[in-house]
């Protein structure tokens, strides 16, 4: 029997999507690492380091696509200490810095992104992104008359979470089916979505269906903007690695009763897809609005990753 600790509880919640969205996953993982470090009783630094490595691996293996998770875990684990006491202090400070940095980044994205929104705009979004929501909320608070069209986002209906946020903030909202995206695009002025990962060539990994929204926006000549904190940029892609697309349980797509009725039916349930950089007009980060082509610079200069380091992390 596996003993449930605060850390395994957080890991379970990330797996079953009680905790979801790349930013929230990263902040919760950082907090769980801090709590784990503070709860370890040993005075032996080697034993402490080993247990922190275990904690890292448990959280790392929860969901594979959002790069914010490994980036957060690595930020927390960037410590060198001879004593357990010093290690705990460093880990707690790293976790707190990551969490407040992440919250400030979302706020800053809201401020920068709101400049892109004009009074009277209709904006389409897909899934539920706190970074995208920060933009809507800031623009609305500035007194801009906006209407947000939210897709339902099958199969987990994250669109309902978006609708709930928007309605609670008083922002005029329209809910549409995912299949109504192209039909509805003619009423849209701008698309804003979040990110689970941005690759070194500026492509976007986000909730499955995002690339279809981008295609429809491109066809209708509607601007397509991504809101992403810089810790969503993927260092491993600098080394040529692909971002893994999570394949989730088939029961999310079809209930057990119907699966039993068609025992030979195969079900594919990818949770994310890739939007090529050529469909993205702009990525709004906390360090400014950048073109997708600047992703290499963000990974190298802002996140400080070199090719050797990316290679090491991929081992
Ligand atoms: C969530 C999703 C969101 C990004 C960004 O997918 O695709 O657009 O994670 O979110 P899931 P945020 O529901 O499968 O986690 O801007 O909040 O970090």
What digits encode the pLDDT tens for the residues 177-206?
A: 999 999 999 999 999 999 999 999 999 999
Mutate to test the pocket of ligand 1, among 16, 22, 233, 274 (most ligand atoms within 8 A of CB): 22
How far is C-alpha 80 from the geometric centre of its chain's CA atoms?
Answer: 28
Q: Give the residues of the chain that fall short of pLDDT 50.
A: 1, 315
Q: What does the pLDDT read at residue 305?
A: 76
Q: What does the pLDDT read at residue 277?
A: 98
How far is C-alpha 135 from the geometric centre of its chain's CA atoms?
Answer: 15
- Every domain of the chain and the residues it spans: 6-106, 108-313
Known catalytic residue at 178: no
If phi > 0 it is left, if psi is from -120 to 50 it is alpha, else beta; for residue 266 that is: beta
* Domain 6-106 sits in CATH 1.20.120.420: yes
Distance 121 CA to ligand 1 centre (A): 23
Separation of alpha carbons 18 and 25, rounded Å: 10
Q: What does the pLDDT read at residue 16?
A: 96
Q: What does the pLDDT read at residue 1?
A: 47
Q: What does the pLDDT read at residue 149?
A: 99
Which value does ipTM take for this structure? 0.99
Distance 308 CA to ligand 1 centre (A): 29
Question: What residues are in contact with ligand 1 under a 6 Å CB criterion?
Answer: 20-24, 66, 127, 129-131, 158, 194-196, 206-207, 271
Q: What does the pLDDT read at residue 304?
A: 83
Mutate to test the pocket of ligand 1, among 101, 125, 129 (most ligand atoms within 8 A of CB): 129
CATH value of 108-313 in 3.30.70.1050, 3.40.50.10470, 3.30.70.60, 3.40.50.170: 3.40.50.10470
Distance 206 CA to ligand 1 centre (A): 7
Known catalytic residue at 249: no
Q: Do 196 and 272 meet the contact criterion of CB atoms below 8 Å apart? A: yes
Domains 6-106 and 108-313 in one fold: no
Q: Do 22 and 232 meet the contact criterion of CB atoms below 8 Å apart? A: yes
Q: What does the pLDDT read at residue 84?
A: 98
């Amino acid at each position: 029997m596996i003993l449930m600790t605060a850390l395994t509880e957080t890991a379970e919640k990330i797996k079953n999507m009680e905790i979801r969205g790349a930013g929230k996953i990263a902040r919760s993982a950082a907090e769980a690492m801090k709590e784990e470090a503070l709860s370890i009783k040993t005075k032996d630094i080697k034993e402490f380091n080993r247990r922190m490595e275990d904690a890292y691996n448990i959280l790392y293996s929860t969901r594979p696509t959002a790069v914010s998770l490994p980036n957060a875990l690595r930020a927390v684990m960037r410590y060198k200490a001879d004593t357990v006491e010093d290690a705990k202090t460093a880990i707690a400070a790293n976790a707190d810095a990551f969490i407040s940095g992440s919250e400030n980044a979302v706020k800053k994205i809201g401020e920068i992104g709101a400049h892109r929104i004009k009074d009277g705009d209709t904006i389409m979004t897909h899934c539920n992104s706190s970074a995208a929501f920060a933009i809507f909320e800031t623009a609305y608070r500035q007194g801009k008359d906006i209407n947000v069209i939210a897709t339902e986002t099958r199969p987990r209906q994250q669109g309902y979470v978006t609708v709930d946020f928007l309605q609670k903030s008083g922002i005029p909202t329209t809910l549409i089916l995912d299949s109504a995206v192209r039909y509805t695009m003619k009423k849209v002025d701008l698309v804003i979505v979040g990110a689970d990962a941005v690759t070194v060539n500026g492509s976007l990994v986000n909730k499955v269906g995002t690339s279809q929204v981008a295609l429809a926006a491109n066809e209708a000549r509607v601007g397509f903007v991504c809101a992403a904190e810089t810790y969503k940029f993927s260092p491993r892609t600098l080394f040529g690695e692909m971002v893994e697309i999570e394949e989730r349980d088939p029961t999310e797509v079809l209930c057990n009763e119907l699966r039993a009725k068609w025992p030979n039916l195969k079900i594919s349930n990818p949770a994310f897809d890739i939007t090529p950089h050529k469909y993205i007009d702009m990525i709004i980060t906390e360090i400014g609005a950048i073109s997708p082509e600047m992703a290499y610079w963000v990974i190298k200069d802002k996140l400080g990753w070199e090719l050797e380091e990316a290679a090491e992390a991929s081992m």
